[in-house]
């Protein structure tokens, strides 16, 4: 996708913030441009990491979330506050690289599964047919295996019960709080014999189980791991949210394991180093890092200088005004007004919003953000829940369909001076 195409797609869900969208779109396009160069040239070109600075609720995380769906590259979103300095209880920074590799593994596996989907399904049908013939119950007398396979493939027997043998995978074990889980079976691989157990499931469930097992047999796991490492290394994108929470210097006398310590640990990852994973070593030199934060209390300049220098692109996102709120309520493909319409339609309520009603909601949101705490577009969730509260409560499953109109008068009646405090809705 070209940068303009990426921005156009993001515009479907995110109002405004053109500069942030443009910076991210260019960064992604540069990944493609780099892939078209010679090996010698690719070695010299590193990604231009980005810091997105702006108030909460203006679209930073949403940009990341939508990017994850747009890019066909390994994409990982992490919270900077989840990590602690190496040597302390909690997740170490290198784990984000290992998580990125896992994302890449799943991405490549899904592609390979689609390639063998038809063969895996046919093999699964064969195994289910054998299981049904073995049990013999509820089957027509004298039915041939070929005819049975046809019925299974056409999903005519999906609700029939069948006893099958499934692999009994050991449950992951958590070594210590915050350190993640470890699967004993994945460590020893084929060294330990796989245990199986009997399960009674529907034919539809059996097809899914056997198709997954057959897909695993048909793909080359070694080539999957090699390709996944290559993609994570050359095309990986890591979005680090809440970067402002680890900025600034600590006033305490002891070691600060969750702020400067984390920054120091992030630095070599962003600069470029080699991280060991269970699939092999991966270089982080060409991974694109996008950091974001509100930076209300702390500033970008409060990050350690070495880390600042590794994020050369700084994009400031704008606060939201009344017109922005109007667009957020109406323009995006997943507009909040449409969400409530669909929810209440389940109870035969035709929820309608007038233009002046939408503007009144936007004005209340802007006012609340100015008088209370500026939480951006998240304020709309609180306001909308307050507005539709009575409508949503007073439903009768046996009542005839009815229409509920949200106009300016209705909004203003729900937001008298006494009822305008929405803190109870904001966690």
pLDDT in tens, 373-406: 888 888 888 899 988 888 888 877 777 788 889 9
- Domain boundaries defined on the chain: 3-108+232-316, 117-218, 322-422
Percentage of the chain exceeding pLDDT 90:
24
Mean pLDDT of all residues in 54-63: 83
pLDDT at 249: 58
> What is the residue-averaged pLDDT of the chain?
83
Instruction: Give Cβ neighbours of residue 150 (< 8 Å, ≥ 6 apart).
Output: none
Q: Do 3-108+232-316 and 322-422 fold alike per CATH?
A: no
Classify domain 3-108+232-316 by CATH architecture: 3-Layer(aba) Sandwich (3.40)
pLDDT band for 104, please (50, 70, 90 cuts). very high
Any idea which residue has 């507009």 for tokens?
Answer: 335
Higher-confidence position of 67 and 110 = 110
Interatomic CA distance for residues 153 and 147, integer angstroms: 10
Residues 11-25 pLDDT 10s? 888 888 888 889 888
pLDDT surpassing 50 at residue 65 = yes
Q: Would you state the pLDDT for residue 338?
A: 92
Helix, strand, coil percentages for the chain (3-state, nearest 5): 50, 15, 35
The fold for domain 322-422 equals Helicase, Ruva Protein; domain 3 (1.10.8)
Q: Quick one: pLDDT at residue 417?
A: 47
Cα(245)–Cα(297) distance, rounded to whole angstroms?
9
pLDDT of 138 reads: 66
Q: What was the pLDDT predicted at 89? A: 58
Between residues 249 and 288, the one the model is more confident about: 288
Give the percent of the chain with pLDDT over 70: 85
CA-CA distance, 369 to 359, in Å (whole number)? 15
Q: What is the pLDDT of residues 113-152, one digit of tens each?
A: 999 999 999 999 998 888 888 876 666 666 777 888 888 8
Nearest to 77 by CA among 293, 239, 257, 194: 239
Following DSSP, what letter does each residue of 355-400 receive, concatenated?
Answer: HHHHHHHHHHHHHHHHHS---TTHHHHHHHHHHHHHHHHS--TTSP
Q: For residues 87 and 146, which has the higher predicted lDDT (pLDDT)?
A: 146
Element (H, E) at 404: strand 402-406
User: Which sign does the torsion angle of CA 301, 307, 313, 314 carry?
Assistant: negative
**How far apart are the C-alpha atoms of 23 and 3, rounded to whole Å?**
9
Spatial separation of the C-alpha atoms in residues 276 and 358, rounded to whole Å: 53
Confidence band, pLDDT 50/70/90 cuts, at residue 229: very high
Contact between residue 325 and residue 366 where contact means Cβ atoms under 8 Å apart:
yes
């Amino acid at each position: 996708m070209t940068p303009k195409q990426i921005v156009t797609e993001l515009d479907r869900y995110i109002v405004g913030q053109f500069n942030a969208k443009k910076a991210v779109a260019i960064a992604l396009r540069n990944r493609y441009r780099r892939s078209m160069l010679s090996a010698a040239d690719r070695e010299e070109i590193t990604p231009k990491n980005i810091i997105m600075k702006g108030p909460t609720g203006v679209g930073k995380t949403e940009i990341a979330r939508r990017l994850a769906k747009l890019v066909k590259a390994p994409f990982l979103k992490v919270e900077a506050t989840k990590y602690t300095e190496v040597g302390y209880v909690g997740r170490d920074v290198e784990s984000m690289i290992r998580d990125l590799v896992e994302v890449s593994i799943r991405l490549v596996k899904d592609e390979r599964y689609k390639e063998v989907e038809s063969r895996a399904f046919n093999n699964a049908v064969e195994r289910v047919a054998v299981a049904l013939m073995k049990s013999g119950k509820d089957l027509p007398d004298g039915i041939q295996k070929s005819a049975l396979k046809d019925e299974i493939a056409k999903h005519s027997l999906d609700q029939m019960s069948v006893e099958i043998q499934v692999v009994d995978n050991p449950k992951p074990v958590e070594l210590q709080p915050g350190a993640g889980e470890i699967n004993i079976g994945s460590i020893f691989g084929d060294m330990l014999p796989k245990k199986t157990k009997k399960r009674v499931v529907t034919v539809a469930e059996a097809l899914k189980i056997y198709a997954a097992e057959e897909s695993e047999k048909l793909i080359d796991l070694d080539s999957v791991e090699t390709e996944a490492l290559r993609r994570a290394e050359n095309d990986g994108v890591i979005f680090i949210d809440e970067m402002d929470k680890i900025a600034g210097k600590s006033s305490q006398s002891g070691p600060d394991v969750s702020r400067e310590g984390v920054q120091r640990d992030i630095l070599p990852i962003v600069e470029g180093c080699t991280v060991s994973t269970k699939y092999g070593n991966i270089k982080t030199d060409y991974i694109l890092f996008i950091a974001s934060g509100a930076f209300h209390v702390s500033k970008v300049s409060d990050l350690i200088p070495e880390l600042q220098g590794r994020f050369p692109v700084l994009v400031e996102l704008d606060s939201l005004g009344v017109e922005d709120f109007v667009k957020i309520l109406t323009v995006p493909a997943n507009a909040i007004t449409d969400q409530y319409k669909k929810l209440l339609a389940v109870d035969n309520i035709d929820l309608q919003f007038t233009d002046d009603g939408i503007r009144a909601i936007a004005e209340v949101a802007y006012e609340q953000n100015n008088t209370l705490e500026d939480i951006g577009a998240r304020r709309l969730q609180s306001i909308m829940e307050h507005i539709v509260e009575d409508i949503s409560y007073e439903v009768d499953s046996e009542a005839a369909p009815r229409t509920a109109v949200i106009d300016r008068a209705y909004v203003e009646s729900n937001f008298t001076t006494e009822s305008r405090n929405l803190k109870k809705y904001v966690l």
